Amino acid sequence: MNSKTGKIIYWILTGLVAFVFIGSGSMKLMGGAGTEEMAQGLGGGSNMMVLGALEILIAFIWLVPKTGIIGALLAVAYMGGATAVHFVNNQPLLVPVLIQVLIWIATVYRFPELKQRILGKATAK
């Protein structure tokens, strides 16, 4: 794969993750019928503004290359919590799990050193 194709894939994956978090965070901050319905299903809307702001903050941390790994860890943790909330409330798990997979794929692609650490061979002693 050449450098140009690699950069395109890099920015598509990075943009997809950011788009998901900014879109979801914006919807929570703006409110609306869909957000209110979701909030009632998940235990109340008192924290929707905080969650929306947190999602947007995670997206911006994710987008900056120097803080991208921290953003990835925050995004993975956030989606782990979202998956747990969906599980406890008997809601479908497909969307949060797919977002989690997207985050992991984008992270491993963006930060090859993590790929080496996570999937690399063990060193002989």
By CB atoms closer than 10 A (0-12, 13-18, 19+), residue 99 is buried
Give the span between the Cα atoms of 35 and 41, in whole angstroms.
10
pLDDT at 43: 59
Q: What is the pLDDT of residue 122?
A: 55
**Domain that includes residue 43, residue range:** 3-119
Is 124 a member of any domain?
A: no
Per-position pLDDT tens, the chain of length 125? 688 888 899 899 999 999 999 999 998 888 766 676 666 666 556 778 888 999 999 999 999 999 999 999 999 999 999 999 889 988 899 999 999 999 999 998 898 888 788 777 655 54
Q: Cα–Cα distance between 125 and 53 in angstroms, integer? A: 47
Give residue 3's pLDDT. Answer: 85
* 3-state percent helix, strand, coil for the chain, nearest multiple of 5: 80, 0, 20
User: Is 82 within a domain?
Assistant: yes
Count of domains observed in the chain: 1
Q: How far apart are CA 114 and CA 105, in angstroms?
A: 11
pLDDT of residue 50: 87
Would residue 125 count as lying in a domain?
no
